[in-house]
Amino acid sequence: MTNSINPQSVGFFAHAGLTLTNNVEGYTKVKHTPNKTETLGNVFLWPVVKLPYHLKNVATQPQVVVVALTVISLASVVFMFHNSSTGELAKLALKSIPSYLTHAKVTAEVVAITSIAGWGIRAYGRLSNAALMKAWYARKPDNT
């Protein structure tokens, strides 16, 4: 009895694709239930993988666009007719920006570190999932 392994399932790039994809079932065409390690990795990846979709959905809602344009329009009118007081507020806001940049830098660093850790944890979880790997190696080759 010989073990037939799909040649498209073997190699660095095949495994990289398996570990980096967000839709395992669509990529592998194999029914997949994430294990606890993979789920932990997905939690760490939420700001990078899921948050942009939520922001895109919010930004395309007409109510949000109307409110944003109204705020921008009102701020423009206030600046045109009360430019001295608005200019003072703008200068005050610009002076406080550098203190916020340190927070933005720390936030970006934390998101980057947790994202890298999340991808590593999720990859480890997928590659140590015996049922997924068995199905991954036994799947039928694509006819492309």
Delimit the domains of the chain by residue range. Answer: 9-137
Q: Looking at the chain, list the stretches that DSSP marks H as alpha helix, in order from N- to C-terminal side.
A: 12-20, 24-28, 36-44, 46-49, 51-59, 62-81, 83-127, 130-138
The C-alpha angle 95, 55, 26, rounded to 5 degrees, equals 140
Side-chain half-sphere exposure of 109, counting CA atoms within 13 A = 6
Section 19-48 average pLDDT: 85
**Tokens read off for 144:** 């492309």
What pLDDT, in 10s, does the model give residues 42-83?
899 888 888 888 888 888 888 888 888 898 888 888 888 877
pTM greater than the 0.75 cutoff:
no
